[in-house]
Amino acid sequence: MRSLFERLRSRRLASAYIVLATLSAAIVAGSLAAHGVRGQEQQNSSTDATPLKIVNSPIQPNEFVKIAKQVAPAVVNINTQTLPKQSDNRDRRNFHFRTQPNQNPDDDGQGDDDQQDGNDNFQDFFNRFFGGQIPQQPDGGDQGVQESLGSGFIVDPRGYIITNNHVIDKADKIYVKLSTDPDTQDLGRPARVIGVDKATDLAVIKIDTNVPLPIVRMGNSDEAQVGDWVEAIGSPFALAQTVTAGIISAKNRTIEPGASGQFQHFIQTDAAINPGNSGGPLLDMNGNVIGVNTAIYTQSAGYQGIGFAMPSNTVVSVYNDLIGPSHKVTRGSIGIQFREGLSGAVNRVYGFKNGVLVQEVQSGGPADRAGLKPGDIITSIDGRPIKDGDDLVNEIASRRPGSTVRLGFLRDGKPDDTAVTIGDRDKVFADLGNPQAPENPQSSGDAGETKLGVVVHDIAPSLASKIHSSGVEIESVRTGSFADLQGLAPGWVITHVNRQSTATRDQFEAIVSKLKSGDDVVFEVIDPHHPEEGINYIGGTL
């Protein structure tokens, strides 16, 4: 086993130590030359100097020390290898969160296995801290084999380990090194994948063992409070068994917008977390795991005081599904899509404060069979009021397929309810297609330009048939206008304004002409290039 220094050197980290050491030597040499002190040590007497002594003054171990000793044996270092044939030339040190449209299906399947770069402000700052690639080994290793590092922790003495999916994703070989494994054991023990859940970025792997292994205790993340002390253990930069501490700085933090982040509500912490900590435990002061370290906020790919851990209550639920017969997480779905972050104007025009405005109903899905329609506002599940989209998703996803719930909803301002049989989200959304973009008709007309800054025209019959709706198409949007500030774009089709149909340009003009300053204005629009997204509700105060 190479020394720690040699291993750091192989990862291009030792260069920093070498530079510092060389610089220090140069400074000393320059000082000696400048002051002419070389050789003076033999001319000066030190008989009056008193030798130093080490004083034994035992310090009682604090809670961080106790927790580190208790938990560290169950924290493991994970090494992976990806063969050249499966290399995709990506730098695994920077896994950017993929940006999704701000549209939430009540469950979106477990796709998104490709970590594509988004074009939003988040991508430059939110990075999964995987640990980086190790340069190919000169001592007989396969040329071009990529190695990466991460962390994990043992939860079952028979060798079951929890980590992040991105730690082992696409790896051909996975190795686990225990804290007690000898240094001569280079990569560690072979491990196999039991199951993964990409929606929460969690994975369960297993190593074989002849003796029971040390394990961690899973705590209740719901009981954790902002301001509580926490401790993290992992292998940042391949420095195994590294312990850092901090506090919980926030809870229920969603950092990836849209459907991709709807099952990711993190604990935020300022405990120092760096590349290689990914998959390691976040511990409370009782030594219980309350989170799995998953992501960091950074502008430098290193620690900047903000890290994110998947809460233990979510982890336990996912783990129990992954070790089951199907080795997958089954989530409920009712087959609808909705949009988060609606403006206050939308709520006022549609007459609700809390609830979920249905944007699209999957044809033939559970909600469709129960009679729900776009524009309905879901207000309760089995009599319990629904606060928002996250509340709805969490409640529905936790139900088993085949079970029945009663949904309360508003339609045209009138309360109603219906029984819905929960479906399996993978199956409910399996038939979602990607319709091709419709053709662009010739432009004409300029309705709404004066008040809203938008020019519209009647849509062609071919476009109406393709989007299965009537309306007016946006020809242009004036920069800085009300329509521009709301995000309207040329090519979109406006089907309603303030719940009134705009099937023709004349209807659109009539409605707009009655608007005055201070009025709430809500557009129902369809993007013909993405008709599968259904109706979008956009609005503000004029």
Q: Grade residue 518 by pLDDT with cuts at 50, 70 and 90.
A: confident
The tokens for 360 are 């699209």
**Section 308-314 average pLDDT:** 94
Do 332-428 and 449-541 fold alike per CATH? yes
Look up tokens 């220090």; give the residue: 24
Q: Distance of alpha carbon 264 from its chain centroid, rounded?
A: 6
User: Residue 297: its pLDDT value, please?
Assistant: 75
- Contact call for residues 86 and 170 (beta carbons, < 8 A): yes
Residues in the chain: 542
- Contact call for residues 350 and 339 (beta carbons, < 8 A): no
Q: What are the structural domain ranges in the chain?
A: 1-32, 62-329, 332-428, 449-541
| Rounded Cα gap, residues 479 and 491, in angstroms | 16
User: Residue 260: its pLDDT value, please?
Assistant: 67
| Rounded Cα gap, residues 21 and 14, in angstroms | 10
- Contact call for residues 468 and 528 (beta carbons, < 8 A): no
**Section 261-273 average pLDDT:** 86
User: Residue 15: its pLDDT value, please?
Assistant: 41
Q: Among residues 106, 100, 98, 102, which one has the least CA distance to residue 538?
A: 102
Per residue, the 3-state secondary structure of 382-397, as one string, reads: CCEECCCHHHHHHHHH
CATH topology for 62-329 is: Thrombin, subunit H (2.40.10)
The tokens for 358 are 């249905």
Round the CA-based radius of gyration of the chain to a whole number and report it: 29
Query: Which residues partner with 333 through β-bridges?
Result: 423
Kindly report the number of other CB atoms within 10 A of residue 434's CB atom. Answer: 8
Residue ranges of alpha helices (H) inside 36-101 are 63-71
Q: Grade residue 170 by pLDDT with cuts at 50, 70 and 90.
A: confident
Q: Grade residue 39 by pLDDT with cuts at 50, 70 and 90.
A: low
The tokens for 350 are 């549609």
Q: Mention the CATH class of domain 449-541.
A: mainly beta
| Rounded Cα gap, residues 292 and 308, in angstroms | 8
Q: Which long-range contacts (CB under 8 A, 24 or more apart) does 39-43 make?
A: none
Per residue, the 3-state secondary structure of 341-365, as one string, reads: CCCHHHHHHHCCCCCEEEEEECCCC
Query: pLDDT tens for residues 450-465?
Result: 888 888 988 988 888 8
Cβ neighbours of residue 97 closer than 8 Å, sequence gap 6 or more: 118, 122, 123, 126, 128, 255, 256, 260, 261, 295
What end-to-end distance do the CA atoms of the chain give, in Å? 70
Please give the DSSP secondary-structure letter assigned to residue 15. H
| Rounded Cα gap, residues 352 and 349, in angstroms | 8
**Which of the two residues, 339 and 7, has the higher pLDDT score?**
339
**Lowest-pLDDT choice from 18-27, 257-266, 423-432, 529-538:** 18-27
Kindly report the number of other CB atoms within 10 A of residue 301's CB atom. Answer: 15
Decide yes or no: CATH 3.40.50.300 for domain 332-428. Answer: no
- Contact call for residues 151 and 205 (beta carbons, < 8 A): no
Q: pTM value?
A: 0.63
**Lowest-pLDDT choice from 129-143, 278-292, 462-476:** 129-143
The tokens for 347 are 């709520």
Return the H-helix or E-strand segment holding 34: helix 14-35
Q: Return the amino acid letter for 57.
A: S
Query: Which residues partner with 358 through β-bridges?
Result: 338
Q: Return the amino acid letter for 400.
A: R
| Rounded Cα gap, residues 315 and 323, in angstroms | 12
Residue 89 pLDDT exceeds 50: no
| Rounded Cα gap, residues 392 and 187, in angstroms | 44
Cβ neighbours of residue 350 closer than 8 Å, sequence gap 6 or more: 357, 375, 377, 499, 522, 537
Return the H-helix or E-strand segment holding 77: strand 75-82
How does the average pLDDT of the chain come out, rounded? 77
Query: Which residues partner with 405 through β-bridges?
Result: 420
Cα–Cα distances in angstroms (integers) from residue 281 to residues 150, 155, 168, 322, 478, in the given order: 12, 11, 16, 19, 52
Return the H-helix or E-strand segment holding 505: helix 505-513
Q: Grade residue 86 by pLDDT with cuts at 50, 70 and 90.
A: very low
Catalytic residues: 166, 201, 278
**Section 13-38 average pLDDT:** 45
Residue 41 pLDDT exceeds 70: no
